[in-house]
Amino acid sequence: MKVSTIVPALLCVAPGAVNGFTVGPNGRASSVRSELSMSSSEETVRNPNPAIKVAANAMSLLKPVFKLEAELQAAALGAIAKVDKDEVAATIEENKKNNKVLIYTYGLSPFSTEALAILDASGYDYTKIELGAEWFLLGGEGSETRVALSKEIESGATSLPKIFIGGECIGGCADLAGLVESGELDAKMKSAGVRKPGEKSPSFFDFFSK
């Protein structure tokens, strides 16, 4: 399995932590794409962690509090950093368009860690974008991105992870776990044209061989 990881400019990366990390002439760090390979023999069927799923569902009770906090944080830090909200929204749209399976995460979030483990076990390729270690450590761009991502889901939840399949936000960790438990994840992936590495794409003649 190959997992592509994009590290955005807002992250502070220790020297040598990411191969190919560059700083442009404007002093801003550019995005980095690296690949981590895993043989198919290492892929295992993994059931979602029930405790994490319950905790993720419970977080929805605090949604109004987190929403207000997220908006205040974005307004303050975004103004200081002079973040262009339209540019943030455009970047999200571009990432959705260019990546069939996309997940926005926090580095220290147990919910993000669980969602990544589920995706790893599924065998599908995906792209990970880590906004930062946690919400309270985000800068202006990350804070604005967090708020913009909340608009991608009907509930308006500001929590991460946010997972996109075929450009559609399916929600977070609990929603991904629900797809696995119901057996609907594979169908969701296939309907979005997502295939596992080495999986043959259906051909015109396959229709007549059924």
* pTM exceeds 0.85: no
Strand ranges in the chain using DSSP code E only, listed in sequence order: 2-7, 32-37, 101-106, 126-132, 162-165, 168-171
How, if at all, do strands 126-132 and 2-7 pair? parallel
Query: What is the rounded CA–CA span in Å between residue 122 and residue 100?
Result: 15
Query: What is the rounded CA–CA span in Å between residue 105 and residue 6?
Result: 11
What is the predicted pLDDT for the residue at 202?
64
C-beta separation of 62 from 56 below 8 A: no
Q: For every one of its 210 residues, what pLDDT tens digit does the chain have, with 9 covering 90 and above?
A: 545 454 444 433 333 333 333 233 333 333 333 333 333 434 445 788 888 877 877 777 778 899 999 999 999 999 999 999 999 999 999 999 999 999 999 999 999 999 999 999 999 999 999 999 999 999 999 999 999 999 999 999 999 999 999 999 999 999 999 999 999 999 999 999 999 998 876 665 554 555
Residue carrying structure tokens 């993994």:
46
